[in-house]
Amino acid sequence: MLESMFNPRRLEKGPWKMLFIGILYASLSLILVKWFFGKDVVLSGYSGIIVITFCVMLILPFMYFIIREEEAEDEEVFGSLGVWKIHKDAIYSFLWLFLGFIIAFSFWYIILQDSNLFNAQIETFCRINSPGNIESCVKGYDFTKGTGAAVKEIRLLSIIENNVYVMIFTLILSLIFGAGAIFVLAWNASVIATAISIFAQNKISDIPSGILRYMIHGFPEIAAYFIAALAGGIFGVGVLRNGIKDKRFLHVLENTAVLLFIALAILVIAAVVEVYLTPLIFN
């Protein structure tokens, strides 16, 4: 029913509308999991993953439609500037969707006061930010990090390594199943939203400052993942449509390489901002 009410074609000229789609679908996913699985002895332990599964199921029609449309347009453009111009609306749509996920996840985390809905996300955040003290981090949300120059350099390399790994995983998923990368993107949105909610200390009024804290580097980072997902989806659909012997294959391959180069450059910039700029502003 929802896929009929919210037709992806209606969003072609309004990427910002994906913000409300993201808020609606993330909210619906959380409420459904809370309602159906909250008291289940077994499944409640996997609530964090089930929430993302519902999100993915709901948003797949939009992801699939956008990738198909972008692949068709990709065959008509040349050069890095042309590639950016033709795909920027799709990237903006993904970013608005991502912001919608974050707003909804953060809001309901505080309203429902049920950390079990984000159990996997909390542990993931602790493994990234406090790898030597995961248990106490999960229990007390102790995200204290070292700030020395040597520590920052090590953390920068660690973040770049982790982000490149996620980008490669996103690319592979989108190659196998064009819209499959939405799982990685929704997952990252939920992890960031969890961090924002903890930072806000259960105050809805502090959510905007929490979003600002994590989105300074989070938006470019997620944009890179979206670009990689788009590149993989375009390449996969292009090969299926034209085959590798068609002259348009090299054109699709070239544009895919351009998108991946842009994504990699953005990831490095986002990591530098996260390690060196964000702490100066908020610490």
- Tens of pLDDT, residue by residue over 175-224, are 777 666 788 888 888 888 888 887 776 667 777 887 888 888 888 888 89
In 243-277, which ranges are continuous DSSP H helix? Answer: 248-272
pLDDT tens per residue, range 138-189 = 555 544 444 445 567 777 888 888 889 888 988 888 877 766 678 888 888 8
How wide is the angle at C-alpha 67 spanned by C-alphas 193 and 91, nearest 5°? Answer: 45
Residue 64 has pLDDT above 50, yes or no: yes
Cα-based angle 89, 92, 97 (whole degrees, multiple of 5): 130
Residue 141: both structure tokens together = 């949300």
Instruction: Match 């679908």 to its residue by tokens.
Output: 25
pTM (2 d.p.): 0.77
Residue 31 vs residue 65, higher pLDDT: 31
**What count of other Cβ atoms lies within 10 Å of the Cβ of residue 199?**
19
Q: Under a CB-based contact definition with an 8 Å cutoff, are residues 105 and 190 in contact?
A: yes
Q: What percent of the chain has pLDDT over 90?
A: 8
SS3 (DSSP) at 34:
helix
Alpha carbons 198 and 151: distance in angstroms, whole number: 24
